[in-house]
Structure 1
Amino acid sequence: MHFPNNVFAITLILSGLITLGIAWMVFKKTGGAVRWFGYVMVFIALWAITYGCELSSNTLQQMLFWINIEYLGIGLLPPLWAIFVIGFVGKESWLTPLTRVLIFSIGVITVLMVWTNPLHHLHYSSVAVDNSGPFPLLSHHVGIWYRIHTAYFYILLGGGLLLIASRFKKADEFIKKQNRIILIGAMIPWLVNIAYLFVIRPFGHLDLTPFAFMALSLFIAIGLLGFKLFDIVPIARGKIFDALQEGVLVLDARDRVVDINPPMRQIIGANIDQVIGKTTAHLFPGFADLNNTVCYNHENGRVAIQLEDGRYFSVTLTSLFENKTVYSGKIMLFRDITERKQTEYKLKELNQLKDRLFSIISHDLRSPLLSLMDILKMASDGMVSEHEFKSYLPTLSENIGYTSGLVENLLQWSKSQLEGTVINAIQFDIKDNAVYVLNSFGQAAADKGISLQSNIQLATIVYADMDMIQAVLRNLVSNAIKFCTAGDKIAISADIKSNIATILVADTGVGIGAENIERLFGNNNFTTRGTINEQGTGLGLLLCKDFVEKNGGTIGVESKIGEGSRFYFTLPINVVAYEF
């Protein structure tokens, strides 16, 4: 066995240790039926810890060693549960010595069957290690005794549920609160184990039943200890609530907080004396859906909220009733779903990325290539004369230039979005890069009668990824040329203030309308044709924004129709730490 190296093993072992601590407090403080619940918790913990050790093993021999210990919990847990329920419902007279022997018999035989399985293979007909998942798991085929033990397991678990349900009907209103929680909690391992038997398992072999029993033990512990049916206060109750990761608020019939657990105090950032007696409207001002559900809807429900710090929570509301009609309060369970929301947001972005890529490839990239192919095919087939073919060359050259720039931007942007971009930041002079970029567009500008100039007279040293910043400058200058006419000017300048360099690409072109400025850097494609009908995809400015922000800067634009445009972006001039 290795040190636990997966979340399932770590969760089981830590939860098992916590459960052992709670069980110890049960033994110290109580007796009678609740002491049997303490034994149940001990064997649940034993099952959880040893199964966690099994999940940390990578050889068959190690796994079988832990299974032999694990079955002390699996085999003896059902009879301990049965005795606990019998005592809990007040039927201790049933527990004669013979009854106890009968209840424990199958469980004890199961343990012996597992220990001697290599001799008869009645419990497991075969066992092997499955290495196809993220960590080794035991793969097995069941034998006849496994099925016998499963039936025994369900008979005792189901019998316990029926006893609790029968007492639930006859109990007074105070006791109904504990019974309701115990009844609901006891359904958890039942449903999870049914899913396991129907081969609904993570990675094909992972058994979630011990996780379910851990939840059951904590669920029942809250019901018994939280309502003080047994005299285990306040230590055991505190241990149980500390073990819960979800936040819990308990409200009375007037929707005032009467109890709160530590995780909930961390969620709302308040001490217990600042919460008890307050309403949810006081604790969560501005959350109309949540407060309306609490105050005006006495049915069970679920509401999603986002706090000011950006965290998302799914709030499950369970209403409590007396005599099935008299509202007596609510239990509110706050589950942090921030990670799930972030995943959903990323998936949405990826879907938008996919749609954008398909749109660009199917239209903006495909169309010029098809035009080129059509002209070349006609020339090859003799359908156009040499003179006609030469007349098409300027258009072909323009389409090829457009397609080349599009492919370069598309590759850079797609790589940045799909794989993430490694920032190779160095200190370099933006002046030299500005001159280099302007020279590369000299012919394109001359063809339209546009003058290019760099107004950066002094060395301007910035700290960034030089290739990325060159791509930004190329796109901004190319965009400026696109929207300028003969006689217009394009200039690059730079200024340094407070250790921040601001680079400006200004033109005297046609300008941009106020209604379109906000759309330039949006997530949706936005593009217009240039002064001589040049095409665009909208990718260039998205790439600029992405590259500038990844280098620790910001980008913006100022423009008016008929007065030109000023695109500016900032960069640090000192070494900085980038975070992604």
Structure 2
Amino acid sequence: MGWHYTPYGLPYIVSGLVALPVAVAIWKRRSMPGALPLSIFMFAMVEWSLGNALEMFRTDLAGKTFWASVEWIGTVIIPVAWLAVAIQFSGRDEWLSRRNVALLLVVPATILVLMWTNDLHGLMRHNVRLDTSGPFSVITKDYGPAFWAYVVYAYTLLFIGSTMMMRSLFGRSRLYSGQAVMFAIGVVVPWVSNALYISGNSPVPRLDITPIAFTVSGLATSIGLLRYRLMDIVPIAWATVAGGMRSGVIVVDSQDRVVDVNPAAARITGWSAALAVGQPVVEMLRPWPAAADACREHEIAANGKGARQSEVVQEVAGGDRSGDRSYEFRFSPLLTARGRVVGRLVVIDDITERKRVRDQLVTQQRALAAMEERERLARDLHDSLGQVLGFLNVQAQAAREQLSRGKTSLADGYLETIVTVAQDAYEEVRENIRTMKGVLPADWRFAPTLERLARRFERSYGIQTDLAIPDEIRDGVLGRAAEVQVLRIIQEAMTNARRHGGARHIQVSFAVAAEGVEVVVKDDGSGFEIKGLGGGNGRVREQDGVRADAGFGLGIMRERAEQVGGRLEVRSAPGMGTQVRVRVPLRESEEKAQGRDAHEDSGR
């Protein structure tokens, strides 16, 4: 038993020492697709190479046989690790389940047991002897059936893995030419080296250069992984999308470079795959600035927390090539089977026809809304102006009756009432017309207008109306837009109380706080069941004397409140009256919020 230095062992030592830091570096990046099995592959190469070196330095048969057996630990790992690298490279991570990995390791584990117990059965090798005839001593032996069975198994895994990786790289664009060259070296060198050794044509007679060749293979693949980021995006993208889709599809890598485009995307953007690949994706989207901006926003979102769920949809029209066409751009993260973000997909759909149908639907909805508004206006004219005219008719007949009896003083009282009611009705009609036109006089003020409305309500309908307006409201803290909408909400609430609730007493109050103003219109009418309201569609079933259009008025009030950033709440129950509460922000709060939004927009 002894050791003897020979320079023929140095290549194995160099091979192992070169592979070791690479294996460590890849292990530190094991979160990258394919890095974990590749690091295991490189560690196995370190073990195999250093085992070969120690075998070369031994001079006795027992020592050489021992280290030759040690080498098999790395030898049996390499084919399985190589296949795992190829599987992850091809984007088929789901194949590497615990069960499948365990099955792949059954044969290597069995071979190791047979190798270390070979003296009992000779299934791996027999007739082992020491040959010292050359410049260095080597073991010669006859291989047993288990060895050849393993050779078939190992070469099958190596062939399948290499084929998978080459097929995945075949036909890829010029952007990945460097990766393709590196991997071609990694695939070809070990096969050529092993073939030369088995055939007896090794460059160095009797020296097995296979582990050195596999080290070269691992280094080449590692360069592709670390420098070119070989496994970041190809070919996972086209395992996700089909080239024949009607939607345009652009595949983008983690550096926002275009990896590939399908024919539909090329047709829409005017960029062929040959021109687009390797270019920033925003260049392809330049005709649609809104889509390009959305793409940048999605890049930020995809790099942050929750990237796997992030998705941005942008609808745009026009563009240098699209003319009057409309497109929907959808930006989604591109994931491996295990949820790892390796790029993005840009999907482009022509939605011109869908948008046309949608616009027609919007036009029809607007026409329907106009019809409903006309119907509501007709009801208002009937219920307000019609009732006023009816009241004037009764008063006029009473005045005529008193005049016929010669009671002029009583007749004057009726005529004075007629004049007052007619003037109020005239003013109400004018205000309604101005409101519908969206035009208000320069001297229009909220508080006086509301007070006139309350007085007119009492005179015309005999309903006691209590109104308390704080000084802050008189000072215009709400703002003109909010004042107009709040006035119409109060008017609608009072009208509903009279028309549907039969109220005899109405209270209108204001509460001013830092966050906004709350307006409450409370009546003592019959009330109604809240659940009778049909949600936000403005319809209510007729029950307990509540007309079917009462809910429509509530819907209008809710819309008015939302127009000024407020919200409306209705509280009511049969026999308990009704409260309409509307909360709107102060003019200062609204201006601050708008200023904050503008600041945030400018900071983006």
Q: TM-score, normalised by structure 2?
A: 0.37
TM-score by length of 1: 0.38
Whose radius of gyration is greater, 1 or 2? 2
